[in-house]
Chain A
Amino acid sequence: MSSLLLLFGAFFVLLLLGTPILFSLAAAAMLVLSSIDFLSPQIVMQRVYAGLDSFPMLAIPFFMAAGALMESGGISRRLVNFSSYLVGWISGGLGHVAVIASTIFAGISGSAVADTTAIGSTMIPMMKRKGYDASFSASVVAASGVIGPIIPPSIPLVLYGVISGVSIGALFMGGIIPGLMMTIGLMVLIYVKAKRSNWDIETEPFSYSGLVKSFVDAAGALVMPIIIVGGILGGIFTATEAAVVATVYALIVGLFWYRELELSQLPELFYHAGLNTAVVMVIVGVANLVGYVLTIEQLPLILSQWFTEHVTSVLMLLLVINLLLLAAGCFLDGGSAIIVFTPVLLPVVKSFGIDPVFFGVMMTVNLMIGTITPPVGLSLYISSGIANISIAQICKDILPFLLVQLVVLTLITLFPDIVLFVPQHFYSF
């Protein structure tokens, strides 16, 4: 137990001092190793290397590249246009459009930040122009961004899958229903808000011809989620292969169909996708060193025993874990939190007989809510930046949306079958 305290104590102290997460983790692990005379440069290098040496992890750069290619290829504008004909006529107008466009984009990109940036840069200026409150617009976009990594593809779920050894395909399928629940929840909230306060903003016009036209125009983007989900569900390819197919598809659509992507943009796009991959992966590599420390100190075992002694029911355990993760999500970004907490929590969860697929999705839903909680909520920063409003303002207006997300989290925690329904009935793993 003392090694566990040293490990997490050193990690959190360094973290609060502003030391990059990767060095905080590495230094904490090396401190424990040196305290038991196990520290050697070879072990450090080997462990970091082994943590990176994984083919399934390649899904991360591929999904990042695919999302960036789609975004530069003129997808978000077309999605917004299509969503506008689809749901813009409902009371609440463009609020619903933002939610639906984000949900569809969630089937293309695997991160909340990408989703918020892509939809926000089109939606927020448009909403402000039509007279929607700036802070409301920014809140809707930030809250819908949470859906991005929950509906497949999902970078956090890839991370969880590789670290835990659980099928990434099954995890992807498990995210579908919780993601759609968030979509519906947010739309209900917007509808109620619009009705209650008698908005005088006109809703978007509806026309069948407009719907059909915008659908055809957006078809290039709409096919992508079908390729990803269909390909994995049908057992045609793995998540990594689905990701590369998505990248090639996005290239073709951007270059030859919409023709808004230029060849000269590609190096810069690939460079950023590569760097963004490195940002996440260095932490994965170092976390493998931490995993080594955990194993030789048998910390998961000790932790499991402690939990079985002190926590009596599965529900109690999940409640404790959810609160812990929500607190962590306020400060850490979701991907890092998954890398840090999965090796520690998974053995505990397994010893309680909880399904690891369910746990992965629950953890992801929980930590992605962290993208809209202060003080560190990336999506909050992005969308308030686009809307040109203060963080304090959006923090107040995001509350009802945050509440909706928490209701979804509570529901899936109470009824794990919501998550497990699709993987169990439509996907054999």
Chain B
Amino acid sequence: MSLRKTSGFLGMLMRAEEVLLIGMKWSIISGMAGMVIVVFLQIVSRYVFSLPLAWSEEVARLLFICIVFIGAAVLARQEGHLAVTVLIDQLPKRIRRVANAFSALVGLICAYYLVRGGWSTLLREWDQRTPGLQFPMGVIYAVIFASVMLMMLWLFVIMVKNCRLAIAKETS
């Protein structure tokens, strides 16, 4: 890939995306590690110290939700969401591109609703605190909002890409 060579505004965007994806990757990794540690602590604390933890389940659940939303955005970028492609794989390339663009549009509409829903929830729940740790729920909803926003942007890019490929002349 000539990723590094692209200059100007587009190159800047591409590098920003690269940094973003690395950040998301490490968020997922630390989220996973955090979940393992917290739930394992819960068991140890209960059996070894006879001291059930009040906050462990809550933390693990919130980490889990963040992982799923961040992961959903990454998967949208990688076009890695599960789909049944046996039928459209039989179609000519150009029609397949149109179908892919349409699928991205459907995803885009769904993501749009999630973005709007995510935003209003963020505003409403900003001051809400979790019962166990008194952790602000606003942070969680901000992560969710950012993730669905990114998902929407990436789906838009994929849609445009497929549209352009569909109308482009067969060269390569």
Which residues of A pack against B, CB within 8 Å? 14-24, 26-27, 30, 39-46, 48-49, 52-55, 57-58, 61-62, 65, 237, 240-241, 244-245, 247-248, 267, 270-271, 273-275, 277-279, 281-283, 285, 331-333, 336, 375-376
Contacts and interface: CB of A to CB of B under 8 A. Distances in A.
A408 B121 CA distance: 49
B22 to A, nearest CB: 11
Interface string B78-109: 00111111111000000010011011001101
Counting chain B CB atoms within 10 Å of each CB, which of A240, A267, A275, A336 scores highest?
A275
Contacts of B100: 18
Interface stretch (B5-13, B31-39, B164-172): B31-39
Interface in B120-149: 120-121, 144
A273 B32 contact: yes
B81 A376 contact: no
Interface string B110-123: 10011111101100
A274 B67 contact: yes
B114 to A, nearest CB: 6
A330 B132 CA distance: 45
A336 B84 CA distance: 11
B114 A282 contact: no
Contacts of A54: 61
A22 B113 CA distance: 14
A55 B40 contact: no
Counting chain B CB atoms within 10 Å of each CB, which of A16, A26, A237, A274 scores highest?
A274
A143 to B, nearest CB: 21
A278 B61 contact: no
B83 A20 contact: yes
Q: Which interface class (under 10, 10 to 19, 20 to 34, 35 or more) fits B?
A: 35 or more
Nearest to B82: A21
A273 B29 CA distance: 9
B64 interface: yes
A19 B103 contact: yes
Given A278-B68, A279-B82, A245 B43 contact: yes
Contacts of A281: 68, 71
B82 A16 contact: no
Given A23-B107, A244-B40, A278 B84 contact: no
Given A17-B88, A17-B102, A42-B120, A279 B81 contact: yes
Contacts of A14: 103, 106
A417 to B, nearest CB: 34
Contacts of A46: 117, 121
Contacts, number: 174
B19 interface: no
Given A41-B120, A278-B72, A18 B87 contact: yes
Given A61-B35, A241-B43, A275-B74, A19 B106 contact: yes
Given A18-B88, A44-B113, A58-B61, A245 B40 contact: yes
B86 A240 contact: no
Contacts of B43: 237, 241, 244-245
Contacts of A278: 67-68, 70-72, 74-75
A275 B80 contact: yes
B81 A20 contact: yes
Contact of A248 (B36, B87, B99, B102): B36
Given A14-B106, A19-B106, A274-B28, A336 B82 contact: yes
Nearest to B100: A18
A-B pairs, top 5 by smallest CB distance, nearest first, are A278-B71, A45-B117, A41-B117, A41-B116, A20-B81
Contacts of B107: 19-20, 23
A331 B86 CA distance: 8
B30 to A, nearest CB: 9
A135 B103 CA distance: 36
A325 to B, nearest CB: 16
A55 B61 contact: yes
A241 B71 CA distance: 23
Counting chain B CB atoms within 10 Å of each CB, which of A20, A54, A281, A336 scores highest?
A20
B106 to A, nearest CB: 5
B61 A53 contact: yes
Nearest to A268: B29
Given A19-B83, A22-B82, A45 B36 contact: no
